[in-house]
Amino acid sequence: MGKRGSYKVPGTRNFVGFEVNQSVEHGRSNFILRPQMRVSITDRFLVGIAGGIPVNREEERVGTFLRFIYETRSGNTR
């Protein structure tokens, strides 16, 4: 189960987003906060970064990952 919110920067493909993920294991509820961002480097190349911040779990640590995104051209090509 999760809730999301995001803000897209007008006139760009950049955005800042936030997720709250909840899981239940052995009758115990766990929450992870996931801030994320995507930034356009060139017309076809973007970089995304996301984090994971556990709220109430002793077994997990803060984590991050990068996503490199290459978008091919779609539609009309000149």
pLDDT band at 6; cut points 50, 70, 90? confident
pLDDT of residue 7: 87
Name the pTM for this structure: 0.70
| Ranges of each domain in the chain | 2-70
Task: Please give the single-letter amino acid code of residue 1.
Answer: M
Q: Among the listed ranges 12-16, 25-29, 30-34, 61-65, which one has the minimum average pLDDT value?
A: 25-29
pLDDT tens for 17-56 read 999 988 888 888 888 999 999 999 998 999 999 999 998 7
Residue with tokens 């109430």: 56
